[in-house]
Structure 1
Amino acid sequence: MTKESTKTDINGRFSINALEDHLLVFYDKRLDYMRHSISKEDLTVIFTVVMTYKIEELKEVLVNNYSHINAVSLGIVTPGFVMPTKRERLMRSSGGGIFTVVNELTGQARDLRTALAYSRKNENLEKLQRLNLRSYYTKSFGVEADYHEDFERFLVEDATFLSALKSQHKHRVLFQMARLAVDYNVIMQSETK
């Protein structure tokens, strides 16, 4: 037992004077403790020792405001990636091969498409409501208070309006609302006659 010690270089290589049956002990506070008994073959070749990191269970993790850390900055997803909703993931997973035929025959594919469309409309309605623009409906666009929800549903049916809503640019949204309010009011006037 010589108790000789050494350290690895930057590439993890080391050398030490050892004889057959000597015991090498590898230690680092971040790695699992490891022992290796020198064999006759070890003395004739360069051998590799694979160490593993210690796994420590944390009792508590405190995350400060690291808003710059996200899936894009970590390289998990590409910029512009939009996380699919649960219904979109379900729709994608139900397709392919015989499942497509079965889903079409049973009507499940149609039901999934309907549910997905309904879900998207609700998401768009929620986005619109978060903008809190209802004060404009009556004052600027002449839509009666009783018909505000109906007007919102009319708005989210228009692709150009949805593009403006997605941009979250308030003035662009208001411009599209003004355009659609004219059509909506014409429809409402024709229904009340």
Structure 2
Amino acid sequence: MNRFLATFFILFTTVVLGQLKKSTEIKGQLNAYGSNLEGVFVINLKSEQTVFTNETGYFVIKASVGDTLVFSGLQFKRKEVVLCAEDFQKIILDVHLVTMVHQLDEVVVRNYNSINAASLGIIPSNQRKYTQAERKLKTATDLNPSASLSGMAGGSISADPLINLLSGRTAMLKKELEVEKKESYIAMLEKMFEKEHFINRLQLPLDYVKGFKYYVMDNQKFTKVLEMNNKTTIEFLLGELAEKYKAIIACENE
């Protein structure tokens, strides 16, 4: 009889573990002292699936035994949980997070833009690309000599750069270049996030959304991350900058 029970237990355990290795939904609940639990990232590192917690910290995500769940939010320290078989037997997976004050504990940036025209040999790897504003500025400031310094006879150097400098055209073209860069960054940002994201998620007043977009473009750290096209990190930084921007708005309205 005991041998029969042992055999049954082994078979039952094998079946259960086999089922748990398959991707299934796991339900969880966050808890943290005195913090808003809504909108926390829950990421399955193996499948790269991402979900958000609701206002009570509740979440549901597909996972398997051995998968690693990452919990990350602007107000919490990053936490990783490696799922074991016992976690799938629980009705609710309880996860405790530690709060922090607007600090990014760890930022992981992945760049998948290694394949391009230069790497394929279509264009030289060291070839500089110029935008329209950059070309105008280069043309306006390039001396473009037609004779060397050791033999000026029969040659000349264009006086246009000096005239442009004195007339203020060079300064105007530099400002135009800065505006062009900001507008290209804003276009990238608007492709990633709809207007509702700034209003509902970042809690920004509608009349201040456009100003906020220009505000974040003055932050060099943000524009560098934006160029890397890492949406998760960009969203983290947007949340931080939104809090600072709302503080500025509050001061101006006092």
TM-score range, shorter chain: 0.5 to 0.7
Deviation by residue 1:57-95 (Cα, 9 ceiling, x = unmatched): xxxxxxxxxxx883542342207x662101101211222
What value does the CA root-mean-square deviation take over the aligned residues?
Answer: 2.2
Distance 1:69 1:129, change over 3 A: closer
Counterpart of 2:135 in structure 1 is 89
Q: Alignment identity in percent?
A: 19
Cα distance in 2 between the residues matched to 1:177 and 1:170 = 10
TM-score when scaled to structure 1?
0.58
Structure with more contact order per residue of length (Cα contacts < 8 Å, sep ≥ 6): 2
Question: Greater strand share, 1 or 2?
Answer: 2
TM-score when scaled to structure 2?
0.45
Q: What are the ranges of 5 or more consecutive residues in structure 2 without an aligned counterpart?
A: 1-114, 144-158
Counterpart of 2:245 in structure 1 is 184
Deviation by residue 1:2-48 (Cα, 9 ceiling, x = unmatched): xxxxxxxxxxxxxxxxxxxxxxxxxxxxxxxxxxxxxxxxxxxxxxx
Cα distance in 1 between the residues matched to 2:232 and 2:190 = 15
Q: CA deviation at 1:166?
A: 0.7
Cα distance in 1 between the residues matched to 2:123 and 2:192 = 30
Q: What are the ranges of 5 or more consecutive residues in structure 1 without an aligned counterpart?
A: 1-67
Counterpart of 1:174 in structure 2 is 235
Distance 1:149 1:189, change over 3 A: same
Task: In structure 1, give the amino acid aligned to 2:227.
Answer: K
Counterpart of 1:76 in structure 2 is 123
Deviation by residue 1:102-150 (Cα, 9 ceiling, x = unmatched): 2111111011111111111111111111112433323332212232112
Cα distance in 2 between the residues matched to 1:159 and 1:70 = 27
Secondary structure (helix, strand or coil) at the match of 2:141 reads: coil
Distance 1:108 1:69, change over 3 A: closer
Q: Which has the larger radius of gyration?
A: 1
Matching of residue 136 in structure 1 with residue 197 in structure 2: yes
Cα distance in 2 between the residues matched to 1:104 and 1:175 = 42
Counterpart of 2:212 in structure 1 is 151
Task: Write out aligned runs for 1:1-193 (5 A).
Answer: 70=117, 72-78=119-125, 83-97=129-143, 98-193=159-254
Aligned residues, how many? 125
Cα distance in 2 between the residues matched to 1:146 and 1:94 = 38
Task: In structure 2, give the amino acid aligned to 1:151.
Answer: F
Cα distance in 2 between the residues matched to 1:113 and 1:131 = 28
Distance 1:69 1:84, change over 3 A: closer
